[in-house]
Amino acid sequence: MNKEEAKLREIHIDDYDEIHALWSRTPGVGLSSDDSRESIQRFLIRNKGLSFCCEVNGKIIGTVLCGHDGRRGYLYHVAVDEEYRGRGIGRQLVEKSLQRLKEEGIDSCRLFVLKDNEVGNAFWSATGWEKKDHIFVYGRNI
């Protein structure tokens, strides 16, 4: 990474403002009330040791939120600042989370990508993920 040293580490709730700002400026990352500080804090507590960020010179430039339900893992908000794309950061973040899922006995993982997120869809296809056409995703606010 040239003179810049990239460091992967676990996400902490103290990172919230910086990671939320990254997600907000990243096209294709869909944000909702589910991404409030309180919701993200609950997610991180429930899924301790699974979500990571990448820092360069003390600035967070990449994220992956990862969790599981006891049988299948899920990835959310895989984002890399546009200036740092193409350096393998997204792949490293994802692999770190997948490794941790495997250590917890989880052998499969799913993710959700917005249909019009061309960059995201290209990334997932290029990194060996298979698009599933046989399911529909439904949602409901409660």
- DSSP character string of 2-63: TTPPEEEEE--GGGHHHHHHHHHTSTT----GGGSHHHHHHHHHHTTT--EEEEETTEEEEE
Residue 2 has pLDDT above 80, yes or no: no
Q: Which of 48-57, 75-84, 104-113, 126-135 has the lowest mean pLDDT?
A: 126-135
| Strands 109-111 and 73-80, bridge-based pairing | parallel
Q: What is the pLDDT of residue 53?
A: 98
Verdict on whether the full-model pTM lies above 0.75? yes
Which residue, among 48, 78, 47, has the nearest Cα to 63 in the 3D structure? 78
- Identify the structural domains of the chain with CATH numbers, from first to last: 6-126 (3.40.630.30)
Average per-residue pLDDT in the chain? Answer: 94
| Nearest CA among 93, 137, 82 for reference residue 115 | 137
